[in-house]
Amino acid sequence: MGRIQLKSVTKSFGDVEVIPPLDLTIGDGEFTVFVGPSGCGKSTLLRLIAGLEDITSGSIDIDGADATDVPPAKRGLAMVFQSYALYPHMTVRKNIAFPLRMAKLDQAEIDKRVEGAASVLNLTDYLDRRPGQLSGGQRQRVAIGRAIVREPAAFLFDEPLSNLDAALRVGMRLEISELHERLATTMIYVTHDQVEAMTMADKIVVLQAGVIEQVGSPLELYRTPRNLFVAGFIGSPKMNFIEGPEAAKHGAQTIGIRPEHITVSETDGEWSGVVSVSEHLGSDTFFHVQETGLAETITVRADGEVGFRHGDRINMTPRADVIHRFDAKGLRIE
């Protein structure tokens, strides 16, 4: 009920082509995350799907029917905006009921659906307040409530958590994931935060400059990034890239090794270097190692109890089976 297919979609603003021809299929019930650095065209892509921007060429199919020229309201999609875009002069109840009133549903049905959405989202006590009297998380839930009452074919989220503080963001992330489990509706979620992408997605679409770099499940992207960009974007802290003779030893232009795939030791190892900064997170410790002769800085993730400090010389050993190799064009070598 929520299969969305983009066929050679392009978008230009004047002479600037922000999205070169792009094909993408989003399956029914899938939680798809568009992720990429700012300005990569992910929000534009979402707005094209929503119908808030017209596509320059190509077509968009929703549930097999051509929706290219269908106005936003008729596409059966609901969107949650970054600023939530709640109507400030209406109470929470009226905000959530607005799409239903516009659809001219009868009052009893509207009340039923609003109450239903409010109880799902724990908003029952706040129905008669205005958005201005709510906290960020509550506003976010109202925005989601306004989307779910319409029972859309798919939900579109445009960086919905970027205005929340860190603790709330983790909570809302879980709530949205739970909502997806319960509703099993197609969801498209735009974010620049790869942690959100990894934790929530069924399928991640990595974008750069309007081009899809890779599509796949979070673990696929983590295990087999197709190129240097995806390798560097997915995973936190970032993958280490090493060029030169060390890479040549593996028959590649560049090799990549994730910080969590390097073991540290005081006594022996393949590489050695001096700790410049050590970040103790409690559960983990990140070492930023310099003077390795490999790259400017090598990041290493170790157990939280490993207690090297600034200036200590340490030895590192990469796990040979998880070294990623890339050729001169930055593409993965299998």
Give contact residues for other proteins (rule: CB under 8 A). 50-52, 71-74, 77-79, 81-83, 85-89, 98-99, 102-103, 146, 150
Residue 34 CA to residue 276 CA, distance in Å, equals: 35
The CA-based dihedral angle spanning residues 105, 180, 34, 299, taken in that order and rounded to the nearest 10 degrees: 150
CB under 8 Å to 316, separation ≥6 — which residues? Answer: 262, 263, 264, 265, 269, 270, 271, 272, 273, 289, 292, 298, 300
Element spanning 264, H or E: strand 262-265
In the complex, the smallest distance separating the C-beta of residue 79 from other proteins, rounded to whole angstroms, is: 5
In the complex, the smallest distance separating the C-beta of residue 156 from other proteins, rounded to whole angstroms, is: 9
Residue 165 CA to residue 74 CA, distance in Å, equals: 34
In the complex, the smallest distance separating the C-beta of residue 164 from other proteins, rounded to whole angstroms, is: 16
In the complex, the smallest distance separating the C-beta of residue 93 from other proteins, rounded to whole angstroms, is: 15
In the bound state with other proteins, the residue whose beta carbon lies nearer, of 101 and 309, is 101
In the complex, the smallest distance separating the C-beta of residue 12 from other proteins, rounded to whole angstroms, is: 17
In the bound state with other proteins, the residue whose beta carbon lies nearer, of 78 and 190, is 78
Element spanning 296, H or E: none
In the bound state with other proteins, the residue whose beta carbon lies nearer, of 49 and 201, is 49
In the bound state with other proteins, the residue whose beta carbon lies nearer, of 77 and 314, is 77
In the bound state with other proteins, the residue whose beta carbon lies nearer, of 113 and 261, is 113
In the bound state with other proteins, the residue whose beta carbon lies nearer, of 188 and 230, is 188
In the bound state with other proteins, the residue whose beta carbon lies nearer, of 91 and 272, is 91
In the complex, the smallest distance separating the C-beta of residue 270 from other proteins, rounded to whole angstroms, is: 52
In the complex, the smallest distance separating the C-beta of residue 99 from other proteins, rounded to whole angstroms, is: 4
DSSP summary character for residue 77: E
**Which contacts of 86-90 are long-range, i.e. CB under 8 A and separated by 24 or more positions?**
86/131, 86/139, 86/142, 86/143, 86/146, 87/131, 88/130, 88/131, 88/132, 89/130, 90/130, 90/131
Question: Within the chain, what is the greatest distance between any pair of CA atoms?
Answer: 75
Residue 61 CA to residue 139 CA, distance in Å, equals: 32
Contact 17, 41 (CB under 8 A): no
